[in-house]
Amino acid sequence: MHKMDISQYTSFFHDGEVIAIDHKENNIDFFIMSAEIDPSCVKDIVLSKNNVLRGKLHIEGINFITENGVEFSGVIKMKLSENDLLHLKIKENILFCEIGWRGSKPFQNDFSALEIHAQKIWWENIPDLDDRVL
Amino acid sequence: MMDLSKKIQPSTSSPLQPHEQTQEGLTDSKKDKLLSFDFDQPAFSTAALAIPLSAEALTIETACTSCNPYIICGAVLAVSAYCAIDYLSSHTEYINDAITTISSGFDFTVLDRNKEGSVDPGLPTNPDDILNRPGWKETTHPEAGKKGHRTFENEKTGEQYRHDQGQSGETGHEAKDHYHHLTPNGRGGFNYLDANGREVPKGSDPAHIYPGR
């Protein structure tokens, strides 16, 4: 498994999507995909057939999490049926991410601004990652 | 920095031009900055003189036995390097860009340069104006609103507009105010539309809609 540093490509994840979340103890795997990318803008990383980045963001050894500015000690889950990844940044083993959640009922939405402090954050590029990964 | 709304007026398909020009203008100016060192500056003139002077110092080795020509050469080079650094220090922005390019081997300052989005002249630059249209309500989550993401829904049709405020320090669409137009797909989810109301893949370039400029 090739461990990649994705921090230079995080801008591409605005308007991407969270496909699944696997939170176990102090590790989280975010299965995510980026927005559409012009292939000429990336180097040394393989895009999926739709010109998006797909893969797993590994967050290991989590020290603490905040959601919308409040310390969070539960398990991070998919809140509603659809979502938009609105922002993603990685700085010195801190993940900053904003997810807009959308339900099937009218006016049903939620929002998570997550800040996750961990010991290690790395990207596993999986161009053929399936939408029903979990 | 704002926009959004439903196309009350049918949108024309023309206007990729203005945005395209803006995007290209921005990135090209960045590139220009990278190439904009003034080689007429004294520091560069000094540096330009340093090499021939050093060579000359070596040639007078026999004539000046009391001075080591390598010391003279080193001193000249040190002075020229100092002048060059002094000049570059006053151009930090360019240095940062140049370092980014050099260290990564890839110019990330032009990341997303080809993103153009689509343009709907019927959308207001100020998303508040959507609320003036019949049937539209704001359903922004309070926390999302703090981060510059607003949502508007049409009670009758179930359509949604999301307005993302441009964020400073970001690149591509995230750096600019834009809208997304979503319509119910009849299966409990939503489809993304472009500025002309055509269904497009989520996250695709035309799914990022800019108001008329």
End residue of a domain, out of B93, B110, B127: B110
Expressed as residue numbers, the domain containing A45 is 7-125
Number of domains in chain B: 2
Q: Is the dihedral of CA B172, B177, B182, B188 positive or negative?
A: positive
Number of domains in chain A: 1
Q: Specify whether B77 is located in the same domain as B128.
A: no
- The Cα B95–Cα B111 span in angstroms is 18
Instruction: Find how far residue B106's CA is from the centre of its chain.
Output: 15
**Inside any domain, residue B11:** no
User: Out of A15, A41, A100, whose CB is closest to B111?
Assistant: A41
**Inside any domain, residue A118:** yes
Q: Specify whether B133 is located in the same domain as B103.
A: no
b/e sequence A116-128, b meaning 16+ C-beta within 10 Å: bbbeebbbbbbee
Contacts of A38 (CB under 8 A, 6+ apart): A51, B112, B113, B114, B115
- The Cα B6–Cα B23 span in angstroms is 24
The list of chain A residues with pLDDT below 50 reads none
What is the value of pTM for the model shown?
0.67
Q: Is the dihedral of CA B12, B13, B15, B19 positive or negative?
A: positive
**Inside any domain, residue B6:** no
Q: Which of A13, A15, A44, A72 to mutate to test the interface with B (most CBs of B within 10 A)?
A: A15
Q: Which residues 52-91 of A are in CB contact (within 8 Å) with B?
A: 52, 68, 81-82, 84, 86-87
ipTM score of complex: 0.90
**Inside any domain, residue B47:** yes
pLDDT tens across B128-173, in order? 999 999 999 999 999 999 999 999 999 999 999 999 999 998 888 9
Q: Specify whether B145 is located in the same domain as B196.
A: yes
End residue of a domain, out of B85, B110, B135: B110
pLDDT value for A50: 87
**Inside any domain, residue B168:** yes
CA distances from B198 to B18, B118, B193, B205 (A): 21, 11, 5, 13
Expressed as residue numbers, the domain containing B38 is 33-110
CB atoms within 10 A of CB B139: 16
Q: Specify whether B205 is located in the same domain as B120.
A: yes
Pairwise CB contact (< 8 Å): B108 & A8: yes
pLDDT tens across B85-113, in order? 554 444 444 444 444 333 444 344 344 44
Residues of B in contact with A99 (CB under 8 A): none
pLDDT value for A134: 63
